[in-house]
Structures are given as structure tokens and as C-alpha cells.
A and B are shown apart, each in its own frame.
Chain A
Amino acid sequence: MSSASKSTPVPVPASSALEIEAGLRATGYLPSPSTALVAHLAIELGKPVLVEGPAGVGKTELAKALARLLQRPLIRLQCYEGLDEAKALYEWNYRKQLLRIQAEAEGTGWDAVQDDIFGAEFLLARPLMTAISSPEPVVLLIDEIDKTDQEFEAMLLELLSDFQISIPELGRIDAVSQPVVLLTSNNSRELTEALKRRCLYLWLDYPSPEHELEIVRLHAPDLPETVARKLVDVVAAIRELDLKKSPSIAESIDWARALLLLGAKDIDAETFSQTISIIVKHRTDLDLVAERVGMSLGAATG
């Protein structure tokens, strides 16, 4: 970045972040401006994005929408405790190796067989390996990275910074195509500095009421505007409460669809208590919500 570039126009058309925003909208995902910008940067810079935020704000959905927008296949690695490289990277297909040894004609030297059975042919590619060895570029989603342990994070570093995988028996496997990588985390544990350093960072929070209204309207277009607005307000009020599990965007949409199905004209105390189980899913939470939010609804409609 030279200081001269300050006066000259920026090299890349500024509309590209806007184009991504429009493109994501077209696929049915309404991004905030910063989401679109970070997605744009991720594509331009070829860097992975670490997406953090509470559960149910559309982190995974963002990856799916990006895949649709870029018309690339989505490869997903769901993380869990105890996930290891045999499940994430690659594994030797030992059955095939055994067969190979048995089918070997008498007299072939050990060295020849050994060289042979540790070849690419006997490798079972797991999601990460598939992602970088695919001839056409893909979108790679590493979901809930915070569920794994630190060792796994360390293993990812090579892939994330250089897009390559080292296999001791085989050598280095370089990426055939460069994937767009998204990592999501619920922030249930702090990720290592090394991992964060290699990623762009995007914090997704619950959307503003206007934004959420837009999302609900997109997914349940037949729901009357007034009901949708009230729904969004109620959901926002519920998120303010200190709950075990706050309602996610997907649950707002489900609720909107349910209200549509019931033909509700308004959210009053009665419809609320009938349908509350769609958005609140803990017994203790139910009590709290009924007490705090349900009461005020009843008062409003008399």
C-alpha cells in the first residue's frame, strides 16, 4: 500500500462488496453490510473467515448462501470433541492396502509393494482433503470449531495459511484450487491466537429489529406486515431476557410460518401462549417468558 494510492481511485471497483450483498440477497440470505464486506474481502484476499456469534444468527447459513452465490459445492466439516485427523483430513484405506498385498504376485520385492501401498490411490480423502484437492474451487465450512480441542486447531493451521497438507508417507499435497473457508464458533471457548491470526474476523450478532423484519418478510411473505412487526418486537424482547437459549432467527421464521398457517391476525396473549413453544424450548425459560412477555401482550390487547 503506497501512499500514492491514497489519491488515486481504489484499484478494485467498490461495487464488488455491494454486488456480493445483492447476490447474497438473491440467494435468500440478507447480510448486514459488514457481513458482505468481510465475505468480499475473504474472496479477494483468499483468507479464511472466522465467524463468531451466538447460536442461531445464521453463521452456517452464510456459508451455504456463499456457496450458492459463487455456484461452488459446499464441503462441510462438523466439529465435535475428539475429532481427529483421520476423520477430518485423510486416512489410509487399509482394507485396500491389504487386498493389494494379497493380490501381489509372488516374488515382487517388499520395497516395491511398500512404495505402492502408500500412494494416493490408497488414500481416503476426508472433508479437508477433499476441499483442497477438488479440481473446481469449493466453499469449505468448518462448523463449530470451538467444539474441538486445541490439538485439532493446531493441525488446521497448515491448511488455513498455506492451503496444503503434509502426509508423512507421501509428502506435501498442495491445493489444486483455493477454497473459500469459513470457520464458525459459538465462542464457548477462546480459540488460539495462532488460528485467529490466520483468519479474518466477523462477529455476527442478533439482527436489528428492522433487519430481522426484512428476513421474516422474505421467508414468510404472506404474513401481514403488522403481525410480522409485532413478532419481531416480541422476539427482540424475549432475547433481552436472561434465558438458557435465546430464540434464533430460524425460530423467528418458523414462528412466522406457524402464525401464517394458523391465520393469526394479531399476536395476542392467546396465540402467544399457543405458539410460544416454537421459539422457547426450555421449561424454565417458558415460565420466565410467559411471565415477562406474555403478560404485557395480554394487557395490550385487553
Chain B
Amino acid sequence: MPRPADPPRAHGFQAQLLALVDQLRGEGVAIGTSELLDAGAALGHVDWTKSADFREALAATLAKSPEDRRVFDLVFDRFFFRATEFAAIQEGIEEQGGIAAQDPDRLDQDALRRAIAEAISEGDGSAMQDLARLAVAAFGAPGQGSGVLGVDVQRLRRALQLRPDPQPDFDADDPRREGLPKERIAEFEQLLRSELERRRIETNRELPPSRPLSDISRALPTGPIEDLAAVHRVVAQLKRRLKTQGNELRGHRRKEHVDMRRTARASLEFGGVPLNIKTKPVRPRRPEIFVLCDVSTSVTNASVFFLSVLHALHDSFSRMRSFVFIERVSEVTEIFERERDFHGVSERIARDAGVADISGYTDYGRVWSEFAELTADDLTRRCTLIVLGDARTNGRDPQVAAFAEIAAKAGRTFWLNPEPRLYWNYGDSVIDLYAEHCRAFECWTTPQLEEFVKALARPLRV
């Protein structure tokens, strides 16, 4: 659904609220009409002049999970920033009063630096906001900017002498002497950035094009925090999907086979005439799965996460064996059977698998030959092989022929690459060589993972 590129021209509060909700929906936050009504009702009970209350009231009614809340905050800031600036352009309002940017000499620059440092060390949010405007007015004279926000922000920060490490040349009671808290400096930089952006919009009299939130900010979890909840959530979705797929298959009644033994028994009733034909029950075939995951540092988290998801789904597969590799291959099926905990699994893989030999760099050639040996008897046409890795050979021989041989033995072969497609085949990535023998999937967000499981659950033609 195309969304308006700019804050819509609709007027009135309801229209603005709808536009905000529309943008939130566009970013994947599920908001129902009832929640929209709740938001309207909630706003009747808070003071609109307090931006924190206004935001919290909307958040409590619209964003119903920590992720949604994160997206909400990003969208909220972007939306109201743009809406305000848009209105300012339309009405032709410019900043007035206070200190005009044209005569920075009227400001005592040292006193300003000192005041900013104090506000930062005390963490006084509203003072920081005001001082950010002053700082831009004093140190960021128009025409001096490089045009790149990040560069300008850093230039301002240096001009203000804000550093996290101690600066002993300052007075004893100056907070900069001890160094300033890093997070607060980052916070102040953010304020500088939005002030610079606001000024640029004021000068250019137009809004920069609106972009959807970058995918990077909502990728699959890579850190260990709260990953268990993420596994649970993905698994719940996938289970539902796999279940409905099974039901679909049960409809295919035409390929029934006659169960000779039961038919013969049933015919005894009628003196041996097979009146009642008994058929074998049709069961949806559950795939047999071999998973082969790269656990070298660059992709460990993606691998462990993926393995956890697959093992939580194990009852949807008739058999599942998992292997991890760096330079060598090692089977880890047992670890997953015993350890239910995400951290436990990653620790045990790191400790017990013994897959890194010398260099700690992936050696695909050796991996293929060892894997072929390990699974020589088991890998058949009924099996699905899933490889997860970034296909970065570290300059070693990719041994495509060996991989092709394995892929030919397995019924289906999938390759999951946890790198965004943009980086494929750059540097030492040889994913295209392997992709000739299998289906390669880009897999670094939850929807992509779902897409893959859908493909995985599709029946295997034997």
C-alpha cells in the first residue's frame, strides 16, 4: 500500500494520529482499530503540553511489546519531528528571539562550553536540549557545515571539548576534568544532530525524503539478551505454519495405497470377496533433516539461534541431525537434546565440539570431505540438507565438486546465508559457486527465516 511520502496535508488531530498509526503499521507494528480508539481515549486523560506524558499515553495503547516499543519510539520521533518542520515550512515560521545565529560574538563561548559540560555531567535532559540549540548557534555558523550531519556533529563536539577521558587542564570543579559519561555525550550528540537537521530544513524550506526504518535495526537477535523469548516467538509462528501445511497434505487422497493385509482380513466376512477395500493411511511425510552450521565467530550467533529454532521444531521432522563446523565437522545433535538453554548450548558448542583446529578460520574443503564421511550411509534422497554459513573461504579452496557430490546425494539442499545479499560475492565470499548446486537463501531477519521454513515444509518428492 503506497503511503504518503510526506506528512499528509490532512488537518486536525485525528488525521495526524491516523497518519502516525499508518506509519507504525507500515513498520510492522500490528495496531487494531480498538487500539486506535483506546489511544484517542487515553489522550483525553493526559496533559498534552507534556511531551513525555503524550508519548507514554500513546505508547501504552499502541505498542504492546518491547520491540514494538522500540519501533514506536523511532517512528514517533521521526513523525513529530517531520510534522513540526513541515508545519513550520508551510506557515513560514523561523526561529526568533534568543540569540541569533548571525552574531555569535555575543555569546561567551567558554561559559557556554562550561554550561554544556555541567548539564551533561548532571544528565539534565531539558537543559541539554536548550544548550544544544545554543551550541549550534554559537559554533555552527551557517555556511561552515560540511553538509554531512555526522561530520558536523563531531566537529561541534570537538569545538565544545566534550571527551569521555579526563582532561586535567581544567579547573578542579569543572566536570570535564574527570571526563564525562560516554552515554550522555552520545545523547547530546543526538540532540545536536536533530538541531542541525532542523536548521537545514529551515534553510532549504523542504523536508528530506522519508525513509522506512532500516532493516538493520530490526534484524534477528545477535546478542544473547532475551534470545530465548525470540526463539519461542519464532518457533510459535513456525509451528503454526508447519501444522497448516500438514493439513493441506492430508487432502491428497488420490494417491492412496491398498493395504493388502487388512483388505484380506476384511474380506473374510464376505467369504473372501474383497468388498471393503482397506487403504494405508496417508501421512504427510516429515522431512529428515541434516543441518550443517558454521560456528566461526562471524556467524556463531546466527547459527546457534537457527539451530535452537530447528531443534525446538524437532517434532515436525522425522529425524534431525545437526553438525557444526569451522575447520572440522562435529555432530552436536546430543547437545541440543540435553541442553534447553540458549547460553548453555553456545557454551557447550564452544567447549566440547572441538571444531577449530589451528587457525580458527573456516575450511570448507575439509568440511565437505569430513561431512561426506560422517554421513556416508545416512544421507539419502529422502534427506534435506541445510547449510548455514557465510561462504567465506578465507582464501582456501572452496572444493565445489565435493559440495556438489553431497548435494547430489541429498534430496534437497538449502544454503542459508546470514549476511545481507548486498555483501554476497564480495571479498572472499563464494556463495554463487555453491548456489549452483543448492538453493541459497538470505536469512538475517525473522520474516526471511519464516520464508525459508515455508520452503522447507513443502513436501519432498521422492
A203 touches B41 (CB 8 A): no
Residues of B within 8 A of A199 (CB): 64
Measured between C-beta atoms, what is the minimum distance from B194 to chain A in Å? 22
A47 touches B38 (CB 8 A): yes
Residues of B within 8 A of A12 (CB): 44-45
- A41-B34 contact in complex given A3-B13, A190-B236, C-beta closer than 8 Å: no
Measured between C-beta atoms, what is the minimum distance from A292 to chain B in Å? 15
Does B48 reach chain A (CB closer than 8 Å)?
A: yes
Select one of A41, A188, A190, A202 contacting B46, CB under 8 A: A41
Does B50 reach chain A (CB closer than 8 Å)?
A: yes
Q: What sequence of 0s and 1s flags, for each residue 169-211 of chain A, a beta carbon within 8 Å of any chain B beta carbon?
A: 0000000000000000001111001001111111100000000
Bound-complex Cα distance A77 to B408 (A): 57
Interface of chain A, main secondary structure: mixed
A45 touches B11 (CB 8 A): no
Residues of A within 8 A of B69 (CB): 201, 203
Q: What sequence of 0s and 1s flags, for each residue 1-37 of chain A, a beta carbon within 8 Å of any chain B beta carbon?
A: 1010110001110101100000000000000011001
Does B439 reach chain A (CB closer than 8 Å)?
A: no
Does B56 reach chain A (CB closer than 8 Å)?
A: yes
In B188-235, the 8 Å CB interface with A consists of: 224-226, 228-229, 232-233
Does A50 reach chain B (CB closer than 8 Å)?
A: yes
Does B22 reach chain A (CB closer than 8 Å)?
A: no
Residues of B within 8 A of A6 (CB): 13, 48
Among residues of B, the one whose C-beta sits closest to the C-beta of A196 is B64
Residues of B within 8 A of A34 (CB): 52, 56, 59-60
B66 touches A52 (CB 8 A): yes
Residues of B within 8 A of A187 (CB): 66, 226, 229
Bound-complex Cα distance A37 to B236 (A): 33
Select one of A33, A47, A197 contacting B56, CB under 8 A: A33
Interface of chain B, main secondary structure: helix
Does B447 reach chain A (CB closer than 8 Å)?
A: no
Q: What sequence of 0s and 1s flags, for each residue 418-435 of chain B, a beta carbon within 8 Å of any chain A beta carbon?
A: 000000000000000000
Does B32 reach chain A (CB closer than 8 Å)?
A: yes
Residues of A within 8 A of B63 (CB): 201
Does B35 reach chain A (CB closer than 8 Å)?
A: yes
A38 touches B64 (CB 8 A): no
Question: Which of B11, B60, B66, B69 gathers the greatest number of chain A CB atoms within 10 Å?
Answer: B60
Does A111 reach chain B (CB closer than 8 Å)?
A: no
Does B245 reach chain A (CB closer than 8 Å)?
A: no
Residues of B within 8 A of A202 (CB): 60
Does B354 reach chain A (CB closer than 8 Å)?
A: no
Among residues of B, the one whose C-beta sits closest to the C-beta of A3 is B12
Does A76 reach chain B (CB closer than 8 Å)?
A: no
Among residues of A, the one whose C-beta sits closest to the C-beta of B43 is A1
A50 touches B64 (CB 8 A): yes
Does B21 reach chain A (CB closer than 8 Å)?
A: no
Bound-complex Cα distance A47 to B42 (A): 10
Measured between C-beta atoms, what is the minimum distance from B183 to chain A in Å? 11
Among residues of B, the one whose C-beta sits closest to the C-beta of A50 is B64
Does B14 reach chain A (CB closer than 8 Å)?
A: yes
Does A242 reach chain B (CB closer than 8 Å)?
A: yes
Size bracket, chain B contacts: 35 or more
Number of A-B residue pairs with CB-CB distance less than 8 Å in the complex they form: 104
Q: What sequence of 0s and 1s flags, for each residue 331-373 of chain B, a beta carbon within 8 Å of any chain A beta carbon?
A: 0000000000001000000000000000000000000000000
Q: What sequence of 0s and 1s flags, for each residue 38-64 of chain A, a beta carbon within 8 Å of any chain B beta carbon?
A: 101100110101101000000000000
Select one of A10, A17, A33, A242 contacting B48, CB under 8 A: A10
Residues of A within 8 A of B151 (CB): none
Does B451 reach chain A (CB closer than 8 Å)?
A: no
Among residues of A, the one whose C-beta sits closest to the C-beta of B55 is A34
Does B61 reach chain A (CB closer than 8 Å)?
A: yes
- A14-B47 contact in complex given A188-B232, A242-B343, C-beta closer than 8 Å: yes
Measured between C-beta atoms, what is the minimum distance from A154 to chain B in Å? 15
Among residues of B, the one whose C-beta sits closest to the C-beta of A189 is B232
- A197-B34 contact in complex given A3-B12, A3-B13, A37-B60, C-beta closer than 8 Å: yes
Residues of A within 8 A of B233 (CB): 189-190
B38 touches A3 (CB 8 A): no
Residues of B within 8 A of A17 (CB): 46-47, 53
- A45-B30 contact in complex given A40-B45, A189-B232, A200-B61, C-beta closer than 8 Å: no
Does B40 reach chain A (CB closer than 8 Å)?
A: yes
Bound-complex Cα distance A12 to B40 (A): 14
28 contacts between A and B (CB under 8 A): A1-B17, A3-B13, A10-B44, A14-B53, A16-B45, A17-B53, A33-B53, A34-B52, A34-B59, A37-B46, A37-B56, A37-B60, A38-B56, A41-B42, A41-B46, A41-B61, A52-B65, A187-B229, A188-B232, A189-B233, A189-B236, A190-B232, A196-B65, A200-B60, A200-B61, A201-B63, A201-B64, A242-B224
